Structure 1
Amino acid sequence: MPIEQPLGDASLGSDIVHPRSLDAEPSEGVRRGVHQKHAAVGRMKSLPFLGPDPVLTQVTIRSLSYKVSDCLVTTWIPAPSKANAEATMRRTTPRGPGSSRWSRALVTGASSGIGEAIARRLAADHVELVLVARRRERLREVGEELQRVSGRPVEVIAADLTEDADLLRVEARLSSSERPVDLLVNNAGGGHLSLFPGGTPEEETRSIRLNATAVVRLTAAVLPGMRERRSGTILNVSSGSGLQPSAYAAVYGASKAFVNSFSEAIREENRKYGVSVTVVCPGFTRTGLPARTGFDVSKVPRFLWMTADDVAAHALAAAARGRGLSVPGFPNKLGAAVAKHAPRRLVASFVARGTRGMLNEDREREVSAPEDRGRRNHGTTSPSRRIPSRISSSESEP
């Protein structure tokens, strides 16, 4: 039975394949073009050079990063595959009892979605787990299953992170020096699609408490011990919605943008203490949350989807490598690059049109009917537009 508490830089970079040298002497025109390419990417420290006068035949960048210098480089970028993610996990996290990079991990939102997928991968690496989620029975089922898989104790804490009493219990577990946690996964989060305000002020605040406040407080609880031990990893599961203005998900997107900025800031603060902080920004993930928040899943292009396990593999690999901000999946990487370099107003308009085009019929009528706002201001909020009082703890980001 799982142990249960009562309810109450390495920043994003590119892996560059070394070009093959040529037997033939290059022409003057080829040399001139090569030198121009070298000048354009001269600030990329990882660019390989072969000999005193190299010829750059092909630069293959396997993961697009919008933090690559300040220049644009024309590249061939293959789509990521599950095999690549699996290979990365094998390289960075060896299998076998006690051989994982981490010995004990606390995962929030662990009863479903990305959180459950992360917990399952850690259990397969024989990491001792502390699982946190709202649904007691489901959490107990997951805990018992993962305890059999890992052969290690699994502790479950049924807690609603929007409630102070529950949040205090999780904070106490993280700050304890007995069986300390060396990997914190802040995954719990959720949101709702609507015109702002989509509910009462209390409901909007509840969303902020889950997506942002809980992340800050749990991180603050675990950091002192990690600094003292001069080791530890914090993995924050954010969202691609936090990389640009997210119309019809204003509070959700803003809270995720906070998580991104917060994570990158404390990453620099704690680098000298041996503590690594990684924030992952997934896109559409098959967990069931998009349909519950108002998306018509059939309207979302298939190539935009990732599975929860694929996102979990990417997230753990990024954390093991000490990455800063990481975006899984080529379409999401491309979107992040566009959001960074395109005019802000253009990005906001594009996201708004795209979001409206993928809403289900009920939600589309709601965001197209501004007269509803007048009724809501007089105390009559449509039930279908309100944010649920219990926000989902699964992550699946629009």
Structure 2
Amino acid sequence: MSGLNDLLQAIDSAAQAGEETILATVVKVEGSAYRRPGARMLIPLHGRTVGTVSGGCLEQDLAKKAWWLTDSGEPVVRRYSTGATEDEDEDDEQSALTFGLGCNGTVFVLLERLRAKNPSPAIDLLRRVREHQQPAAMATVIATSRNASARVGDRLRSDTDETLRNAQLSSAIRNDLHKTLLQKKSSLRLYTDARGEVEVFFEYVAPPARLVIFGAGHDAQPLVRMAKLLNWHVSVIDSRSHFARPERFPQADAVIFANLENPFELNPVIDGAAVAVMTHSYRQDRHWLGQLLQAAPAYLGQLGPKERTERLLTDIGRSSSALHYPMGLDLGGDAPESVALSILAEMTAVLNQRQGGMLRHRVKPIHQADLLVSEKLAAMADL
């Protein structure tokens, strides 16, 4: 969801001005690519694009050609190759536009026009996920046979009861939307019946990652700023009123003063969140860590030397293999910004179920391949 806020703000501004825009979405990747399915970019008629769908190699061509590619008003999928050869054939719609970058990947980008008075189901879903902090799933048709009973750009969402013309196809997609939510993973599926094939991109739309920082000291400030660059939802909690002030953390979503003497319900704030304990107060750290060890954050880290944290655990009377201490990756540097980078890097690795090592030593591919699952449907008349 990185860059989502800027994207939505740009869409709002265009809508208020009554201007059309084009939404470009990566819907399929074969081989190596800089961005994964779900990456989005907004292309205005005038002005600069917002967001990225690649490492910078595709954006210029999309911005130049998106308007005439969607001149009919219908969504289209543009295919780009980043292979080593340069045998471009722009007149052949089935050929990929080849950039000869040597990345050996193919990127499929869905282009669709956004009209000020015609809300986009995709944008509406992104807003809902961001505002309600609840995940959702969306199925988008990205390719069809000539006689198939669906069109490129058709969508079904997990939060609505809409259907496609073909009831059986709608039912199959609904079942796979449910699986997408359970598995928390985007995927591709190919449905086949007597009328042809329909390829669908199932997108798992996760809410922004949440970061909760216990401690409103100076070193928490760069951590807040860096997390907001990733569009994380950030809360700062401290029992010292002169530290827990919104003006000290203008980018934070919430700054909470929590007196240690008064009960404070932590679970709604920290469940599923990345949590950093860094108050630089032994009393505060002991208080918060004692409660956090009984909760269910996605990541829990304690700042400070290993011996200090082990003394905290002894005083609390608990041990935990899930507690990260000393918190952060071994990057070197002792400036507040360096510490913040180290902490955020480790959190990101844990949330993505990675080890946080050097990519040069990684044996497996950086990104897991998107497998295309095929499913045959019995012939059924359109409704």
Give the TM-score of the pair, scaled to structure 2: 0.24
Q: Which structure ranks higher in relative contact order (CA pairs < 8 Å, sequence separation ≥ 6)?
A: 1
Q: Which structure has greater helix proportion?
A: 1
